[in-house]
Chains A and B, each alone.
Chain A
Amino acid sequence: MEMLNVKDLTIKFGGLVAVDHLNFNVKKGEIVSLIGPNGAGKTTVFNLLTGLYTPTEGSIVFEGKELSGMRSQDIVKLGIARTFQNIRVYTKLRVVENIMVGSHIHTDYNMLDAIFRTKRFYQQEKEKYEAAMAFLESMHFAEKADMYAGSLPYADMRRLEILRAMASNAKLLLLDEPAAGMNPQESEELVQFISKIAREDGYTILLIEHDMNVVMNVADRIYVLDYGKLIADGLPAEIKTNPKVIRAYLGGNQ
């Protein structure tokens, strides 16, 4: 069964149909890539999935629950977390604090606990801190735990953003151009990283990416969007040779 099932998803901004009757699905444990030329509507799809926009039409079903119309915060709690095309880590918080922000929704104490420093407060803070450190450790990021996120090298900031999303206990990660601005070696490491978290740690991944090397190396399946419409879908090898896709990317119209 599919983890995520999108049917006839449509959103209009005035006259512009940014996403047009889009159908796609993601199965548990898969790495699915969403590609398409600039302005194709990829980020808009993420904004719809995360509740930032309400669809004009269509449905989004995640693990049997309808998401359209739900608030972003409730969608996160169901297990969908995302990263952004422009990095949005908390630059003025430390790395470990960024991770603890990721687990904020599972930090269970109230204001009185915080003010009177109750046992529950200490237990929760300790638990979340230690979980964050153990998580960073397992991701080979622990030595940077005390650095401010803003002082990390660019590629690490991108990686931290993914880690923060993972820390929310998400099952489905939506990654918006994680390789943007990376050099070939860094994107190679990213490919390794994404494969690892999907194959070994069991995350399901929906990936927007312009870097075809990354997409072809990491994706199980690919959907191609152009002007909000799905123009092709299939295995990486099929997409590579699909004439419609090549035309869309080259911008020809014959």
Chain B
Amino acid sequence: MKNKKQVNRLNKFETFVSKNKVLLVLLGLAVLIIAPFVVPNDYFMRVLCVILMYCTFGFGLNILLGEMGLMSLGQAGFVGAGAFTTAVLLTTLKWNFIPATLCGALVAAILGLIIGLPTLRLHGSYLAIVTIGFGEIMRTIFLNWTSVTGGPRGIKSIPRPSLFGLEFNYANKGFYFLIVLTTILVGLFCAALHKSKYGRAFATIKQDELAATLMGIETTRYKVIGFMLSAAISGLMGGYYAMMQRYIDSNSFISDMSVMIVSCLVIGGAGTLRGPVLGAILLVSFPEIFRDLQDYRFVFYGLIMIIMMVVRPAGLLGWDSTLPYQLPRSLSERRMKSLKKVQEKGDTD
């Protein structure tokens, strides 16, 4: 084997990670907790928040692109739907942010259903083109449905989230931690889904839909579920996006955003959760570091994408695990034993 060495190295690395999982998770949490205290000002705090948002957008797209191999270039449409819904509920109806963002997610999920159903037979570039169209339609709606979205004037003075009179803002770092929490929850959700029959069904759809159908898998149902979840996740974070910007209009959700979300996955590695995390860190911080190159941002994205496709199509952190099949995490030895006990108890009763 040509790359046996590489496989060995990867195996060592993976073994190390899996052995020190708890430690690494604690380390990651520590970084997340310390980060807002070491950044010099609100501007960098905002960058941190945007990175986390794109992690979540990436998790959302990953269900479609990573798990099922369905390309969506219209994710900004879902983000925008969530953002506008949340913004309207917060401003005109003075709702609390929790039901407001959940409604945003719900509206996006319904849109996911609407776009998912007619595109069930589409794959690859055809689906990509249809989703570009979807994004454009959404943008047009945001621009022209003046009575709800404010049309070209957009929605202003969107309040920060608050709970029991306590506002979550940059000054008290509350807004940041709210986004951290949401991102972690979404990540856990995606991980749980991946390590279940849902993840397996998604994988069969990605690899061979016909064979999946002939194993009795309801491929249509899973694709619709995937579209709805992907949309809901994007819409949920879209609500936070609105509360962060405090002002949104149709220009906030143009195709640049969709392309950026896809880029996060392609660079980091679609089909994993670590991929979008790295992708978001790189792609959000890059233009902040090279401010002078801001205008050429998308030239760079394009270049990076082409280079990645040629050199490492699986993404920087995309690889097939070399470890043996692992049962869902908590189904460890101890868990198995206790389950057995439960069963035995049930048997003797």
Q: Give residues in A with beta carbon < 8 Å to B.
A: 50, 52, 72-73, 76-77, 81-82, 84, 88-94, 96-97, 100-102, 104-105, 107, 109, 111, 114-115, 117, 119, 121-126, 129, 145-146, 148, 164, 168
Contact = CB atoms under 8 A, between A and B. Distances in A.
A121 B193 CA distance: 11
Contacts of B197: 100, 104, 107, 109, 114, 124-125
B114 to A, nearest CB: 20
Given A84-B211, A101-B215, A146 B204 contact: no
B165 interface: no
Contact of A115 (B193, B216, B217, B327): B193
A145 B201 contact: no
B336 A91 contact: no
Contact of B196 (A50, A81, A84, A125): A125
Contact of B207 (A72, A77, A92): A92
7 contacts: A72-B216, A88-B211, A90-B204, A121-B196, A145-B325, A146-B324, A148-B320
A236 to B, nearest CB: 29
A122 B324 contact: no
Interface in B182-202: 189, 192-193, 196-198, 200-201
A129 to B, nearest CB: 6
Contacts of B29: none
A88 B330 CA distance: 32
B117 to A, nearest CB: 17
A109 B198 CA distance: 10
Interface in B304-349: 320, 324-325, 327-328, 330-331, 335-336, 339, 342-343
A82 B214 contact: yes
Contacts of B336: 126
Contacts of A73: 213, 216-218
The A interface, classified by DSSP as helix, strand, loop or mixed, is helix
B216 A77 contact: yes
B215 A76 contact: yes
Contacts of A82: 214
Contact of B200 (A81, A91, A104): A104
B214 A50 contact: yes
B222 to A, nearest CB: 10
A115 B189 contact: yes
